[in-house]
Structure 1
Amino acid sequence: MLFYVIAVFVIVMDQLSKYLIRFYIDINETFTLWGIQLTHIENSGMAGGLLPGYARLFGIVAVLFVIGVLYLRRTGEMSGTLIDCSFGFLVGGAIGNGIDRLLFGQVTDFITRSGGILNLADHAIEIGVVLLIIYGIVDWLKNKPRSFCKSTE
């Protein structure tokens, strides 16, 4: 259930924020809200504006990614609260940006930071990746073979 709650929350917040930006802020307009610099841009490529014009292709990749995550969840190979949170953020972010790519042929970005201009879906994906790395480390530590020192007497 946690997976679905996080994914739906991310999708709703992402799409709502993008709608508000598209409706109220002109493209390339910059302003500050609560100390955060916001600049409205439309990105037809992937992160950082790489490969412009391929938004719909990346939208299809997002759909395939979501199908892959749903398959992994169904097999039960990866389970637990941490992976549910990770997958929730990843799927919510993928769907949020996928909606933009498939419907509009571009993604609305607006949160300015040192690495570029992103949106809430991008940040959700970053959170999901960090949680996935933590899950991988925890899982590795749990399943790591224990080596015992045996003294020879």
Structure 2
Amino acid sequence: MLFYAIALFIVLVDQVTKILVRIHVDVGENISLWGIRFTHYENSGMASSLFQGYGRLFGVIAMMFVIGVLYYRRSGTRKGVMMECSLGFIVGGAIGNGVDRLIYGEVTDFIIRSGGILNVADHAIELGVLLLLIYFVVDYIGKRKASRG
């Protein structure tokens, strides 16, 4: 249930923020809100604006990824709160960006960061991957201690 709650929350927050940006900020316009810089950018490619013009293809790939994660969750042996949270953030982000790509052919980005311009879905995916890495490191250390033991 935690997995679905996180994924749904991410999709809703991501889509609402993107709608607000599309309505209130012109493409290329820069604004500052609460000390955070925003600019409206439309990306029809993938990360770092690579492969521009293939937005719908990446949308299909995102949905196939989500199906793969759902299958893994059903058949996978790795379980636990950290895994559920991690996959919830990753899937929520993939759905959020996948919806944009399938509907608009591009993703709305607006949060300026040193690594580029991102959105809520991108940050959720990054957080999910970080949690996943922590999960695997903790799991590995636990198995090493158990085998010595």
Instruction: Give the Cα separation in 2 of the matches to 1:119 and 1:85.
Output: 19
1:89 paired with 2:93, answer: no
Task: Count residues with an aligned counterpart.
Answer: 148
Instruction: Give the Cα separation in 2 of the matches to 1:75 and 1:11.
Output: 24
Structure with larger Rg: 1
| Structure showing the higher helix proportion among its residues | 2
Superposed CA RMSD in Å reads 1.0
User: Which runs of structure 2 are paired with 1:1-153 in the superposition (5 Å)?
Assistant: 1-144=1-144, 146-147=147-148
Paired amino acid for 2:17: S
Paired amino acid for 2:147: R
Partner SS, residue 109 of structure 2: strand
TM-score, normalised via structure 2 length:
0.96
Paired amino acid for 1:109: D
Question: How much has 1:146 moved relative to structure 2?
Answer: 3.0
Partner SS, residue 111 of structure 1: strand
TM-score, normalised via structure 1 length:
0.94
Gaps of 5+ in 2: none
Q: Percent identity of the aligned residues?
A: 59
Gaps of 5+ in 1: 149-153
Instruction: Give the Cα separation in 2 of the matches to 1:21 and 1:14.
Output: 11
Partner SS, residue 112 of structure 1: strand
Instruction: Give the Cα separation in 2 of the matches to 1:135 and 1:25.
Output: 38
